[in-house]
Structure 1
Amino acid sequence: MKQVLFFAFLLSIVIIGCKKEKDVTAAPVYVFSVTTDTINTEIQKPVAIEASRTGGTEAAISWMVDGKELSANNAFTHVFEVAGFYKVLFRSRNEGGVFEKEFIIEVTPVVREGGESKYISRILEYVPAPGQFINVAPGNVASAEGIVGKNSGLVTLGAYGGYIIFTFDHSIQNKEGADIAIYGNPLKPPTDWSEPGIVMVSRDDNGNGIADDAWYELAGSEYNSAETIKNYQITYYNPKSYANVPWKDNLGNSGAVEVNAFHKQQYYPLFAANQDSLVFTGTLLKNTFGQANGIWINAGFSWGYADSYSSGDDYDTKRYNSFDITRAVDASGKPVQMKAIDFVKVYTAQNNKGNALMGEISTEIKGAEDLHFGK
């Protein structure tokens, strides 16, 4: 009887052990429909990744995009509406363990190809700073519209910070050499008269056709100069009459855009949205205003600025300043790689009142051109 009970006990242990072994949960293992860790796509185009379990037992699934769960199914499909880099994390978990796989999704804007003209197609924004030509040609809205479709118009941007934003009927692609030409009206030495403007570019990262995406400065010859001031800000105050336009900056300085006897209209832009004050922020270049051989001059820089008689741009021959998208940098000065750009911004980059004869330093441009158009 004791032997029977003993063998029965052993048998129960074996049965229980086998059952426990059978019930052990194995960690999941997966393969994916995408075989690379980095996926390249464009905005508004769906990204699809399917996970197939090849080992382990059933497990809960989660797809996370930059920390936010977007799916709990084997198949992941998502449309990215803004360009950029996204981290997609697949995670599957059961009692036996966790399986994880990470993908990097690079989403780029749609490059608008083709186009009917190499010149500006549309002015998106014109916000000049105060100046002697503001509110009359070439400092009014009609003058801004006058640089569309040609390189023979003329618009002034007023004193420091005044800007214009424009686009083309296609994306400007980043190819070998210079990509953009901007026409101005500087004078060559010895009667130097340049009014340098900084050029910035932007992609239509969200695809809405509006210049509301990140801006990048095209670093010119003075970008790393000790005399160049980054994150400069100036505020102009409307005197609401023909009078000097006072300003203050974020360095504790103050001054005025001074009126002269040649232009007796109001110098503060009457078409500005804010009729009390205007604030501009950007990079400030050193002043180059002075006299040479008894002549008042404002010297240009070597290369990389609009309305500057630049030897590095070969302005004497080309009659325009040239710009390479490869020189784009972000707010911290880090180079930015862009396949193409959609918007261009030009703003006056010196803060100098000039004098009663010459007036303030204010960038002027006649038009812009895609240097690769039709090539």
Structure 2
Amino acid sequence: MKKILLALSVILLLSGCYKDDINDLKNDVNGLKERMAQYENLLDVLNKRLYVTSYETKDGSYVITMSDGTKLAVRNTSSFIKIGENGNWWIDGVDTGNAAKGATGATGEAPKIAIGKNGNWIINDVDTGVSASGQKGKDAADIISVSLTEGIMTFTFADGRTISIVASPPDIALTVPSGGFSVDKMQWFSLQPKLTNASGATYKWLVNNEEVSATIDLFSVFATAGTYNVEFKAKNGVGENTKAFTVTVNEKTYVNGIKQIFDFFPAPGQFTNELPAATATDTDETMLQKAEKNLTTGSMVSLGGFGGYVVMGFDHTIINKEGNDFVVLGNAFANWAEPGIVMVSYDANNNGKADDEWYEIAGSEHNKETTIKNYEITYYKPETEPANPSEPNYIKWTDNQGQTGFVSKNAFHKHTFYPLWKGTTVTFKGTFLKSNIYDKSTNGTNWANPAYDWGYVDNWANTDVKGQIDISWAVNSKGESVKLKGINFIKVYNSNRAEGGWLGEVSTEVSGFKDLNL
């Protein structure tokens, strides 16, 4: 019996040893697979011509992010070698005291890294005096070091093989004229630098050490003449590069008023075809010229009923400064406002045309429950002019709210109210504001249309501060506030569909413009 028990014990012991050997072998195989996978992943990076954008130590590994977003994990038992800020070789955070040749950050040649016979790290055939005891004796497929220098990240294997991948800060290509750039004040200054190794990079533009933009391109404007120091910084997880230069801003004299009219389209109204005067032979182009003449010579234009508009431009950028920035002139007076909504735009594509995104100045009525966004109205040209000079059912209209009605004829204006140069229907879209108009007399003899609180044209007297506009009130099509540095174009359209008895319809008038910062 004792012999049997002894034999069983030996068998169990041998069986346990066998299992341990099998487990060790499995672990070795798995470890080898992992190391070979690292090698294959690095080769794949080379084949795809990717580059390193960042690296960090995480959960016992160096996590290296490539330009396509993929991440490689290298066990941080490998040593990390780089050039420190003092120009010396640093190994695992320790200064070797040995100077490195060449400047870090510039793409160059990878260093030659090996473990010497004495067990020290050898870099470019120079003994660093730092022991590599933690790496000596590793398997051939093991990565013994990861180095970052001269814009190259190099992975060195125990058998001497190396794989090198570009790992540099974003490279900035920007041609700067001799003596720097030059621009007139209150004109857009734009730059589009070309970058490489910029995947995942962040950007910063500084003017006289003050950040003005965090985008890759610069689109800015200078309010005053002078010389400005400009820096562009591009940074990724590897490092940062900077391009510095000067911008000379020249003095310039501008007209404080309207320079050009880009579009003029009044809705039907009692002053349509009068301000400016129109004939049956006029066209969009000739009416545009007439409107421009009126608004550049001290006269005015009428925008007719709801939606009628005018688009104006200037010889300089209206800069968004602290406080109110401009006023569009009208002819409002006490208890009679004909408020027009203001839209603003800047010349983003730099072509001098009003074809960029528009932003609405969100005045005091913008968020009220009675305000209708995306309102649309269509007017229909009458087949004949009415015999009754005060015909109430004169020009038919329908809207997208399911309503229909008429623009009334006014005995004081015997001409046609429908724009002579337009087709049989005209449609306008915009934000509809509930009018404040009411009959003070209760018998139709005395009408009033009190002004809105702020933010509109032809709403308060031209000299009243409540008629001034702050560009910072601008919102996008989603109603979100936007930060505009300046604007180049303004559109004004009538916000009301209302009539005041014998006074006729509420029709916004525009008579000029003033830049409050000029």
TM-score normalized by structure 1?
0.70
Provide the residue aligned with 1:54 in structure 2: 152
Provide the residue aligned with 2:504 in structure 1: 359
- Measured after TM superposition, the shift of residue 297 of structure 1 is 1.4
Structure with larger RCO (C-alpha < 8 A, sep 6+)? 1
Task: Indicate the SS of the match to 1:148.
Answer: helix
Match for residue 216 of structure 1 among 316, 337, 359: 359
Provide the residue aligned with 2:371 in structure 1: 228
Q: Report whether the alignment pairs 1:270 with 2:369.
A: no
Match for residue 381 of structure 2 among 226, 232, 238: 238
Quick check: which one's helix share is greater? 2
Q: What is the identity percentage for the equivalent residue pairs of Structure 1 and Structure 2?
A: 38
In structure 2, give the amino acid aligned to 1:339.
Answer: K
- Measured after TM superposition, the shift of residue 122 of structure 1 is 0.8
**Residues 169-199 of structure 1 deviation map (CA, whole Å, 9 limit, x = unaligned):** 00000001111111111121xxx21100001
Contact 2:257–2:513 (Cα < 8 Å) also in 1 = yes
Provide the residue aligned with 2:488 in structure 1: 342
Cα separation, 2, equivalents of 1:51 and 1:353 = 72
Provide the residue aligned with 1:8 in structure 2: none
Match for residue 429 of structure 2 among 247, 271, 281: 281
Relative distance call for 1:284 and 1:51 in structure 2 (3 A) is: farther
Cα separation, 2, equivalents of 1:268 and 1:111 = 42
In structure 1, give the amino acid aligned to 2:313.
Answer: T
Provide the residue aligned with 2:262 in structure 1: 124
In structure 2, give the amino acid aligned to 1:145.
Answer: E
Cα separation, 2, equivalents of 1:292 and 1:225 = 24
Q: Report whether the alignment pairs 1:148 with 2:148.
A: no
Relative distance call for 1:117 and 1:248 in structure 2 (3 A) is: same
Relative distance call for 1:116 and 1:260 in structure 2 (3 A) is: same
Cα separation, 2, equivalents of 1:58 and 1:371 = 59
Cα separation, 1, equivalents of 2:400 and 2:429 = 10
Cα separation, 1, equivalents of 2:454 and 2:53 = 55
Match for residue 310 of structure 2 among 155, 164, 168: 164
Provide the residue aligned with 1:302 in structure 2: 453
Relative distance call for 1:108 and 1:124 in structure 2 (3 A) is: farther
- Measured after TM superposition, the shift of residue 143 of structure 1 is 5.4
Relative distance call for 1:115 and 1:201 in structure 2 (3 A) is: farther
- Single out whichever of 315-324 and 338-347 deviates more from structure 2: 315-324
**Residues 61-120 of structure 1 deviation map (CA, whole Å, 9 limit, x = unaligned):** 9xxxxxxxxxxxx968699xxx9x9xx9958xxxxxxxx534463545464874521111
For 1:304-343, what aligned pairs fall within 5 Å after superposition? 304-309=455-460, 315=461, 317-318=463-464, 321-343=467-489
TM-score normalized by structure 2?
0.52
Consecutive unaligned residues of structure 1, counting only runs of 5 or more, are: 1-19, 32-49, 62-73, 92-99, 310-314
Q: Count matched residues.
A: 298
Q: Report whether the alignment pairs 1:137 with 2:275.
A: yes
- Measured after TM superposition, the shift of residue 200 of structure 1 is 0.8
Q: Report whether the alignment pairs 1:249 with 2:395.
A: no
Contact 2:267–2:303 (Cα < 8 Å) also in 1 = yes
Provide the residue aligned with 2:207 in structure 1: none
For 1:34-73, what aligned pairs fall within 5 Å after superposition? 52=107, 53-56=151-154, 57=163
Match for residue 324 of structure 2 among 171, 178, 185: 178
In structure 2, give the amino acid aligned to 1:201.
Answer: V
Relative distance call for 1:271 and 1:89 in structure 2 (3 A) is: farther
- Measured after TM superposition, the shift of residue 146 of structure 1 is 3.7
Contact 1:197–1:346 (Cα < 8 Å) also in 2 = yes
Consecutive unaligned residues of structure 2, counting only runs of 5 or more, are: 1-35, 46-50, 55-104, 108-150, 155-162, 176-189, 204-214, 224-251, 279-286, 387-393
| Structure number with larger C-alpha Rg | 2
Task: Indicate the SS of the match to 2:200.
Answer: strand
**Residues 293-316 of structure 1 deviation map (CA, whole Å, 9 limit, x = unaligned):** 45111221111111113xxxxx48
Q: Report whether the alignment pairs 1:259 with 2:409.
A: yes
- Measured after TM superposition, the shift of residue 214 of structure 1 is 0.7
- Measured after TM superposition, the shift of residue 144 of structure 1 is 2.0
Task: Indicate the SS of the match to 1:300.
Answer: coil
Cα separation, 1, equivalents of 2:462 and 2:259 = 27
- Single out whichever of 211-220 and 285-294 deviates more from structure 2: 285-294
In structure 1, give the amino acid aligned to 2:305.
Answer: A
- Measured after TM superposition, the shift of residue 250 of structure 1 is 0.6
Cα separation, 2, equivalents of 1:51 and 1:161 = 59
Relative distance call for 1:256 and 1:230 in structure 2 (3 A) is: same
Cα separation, 2, equivalents of 1:78 and 1:162 = 46
In structure 1, give the amino acid aligned to 2:430.
Answer: G
Contact 1:139–1:156 (Cα < 8 Å) also in 2 = no
For 1:194-213, what aligned pairs fall within 5 Å after superposition? 194-213=337-356
In structure 1, give the amino acid aligned to 2:267.
Answer: A
Relative distance call for 1:209 and 1:108 in structure 2 (3 A) is: farther
In structure 2, give the amino acid aligned to 1:122.
Answer: Q
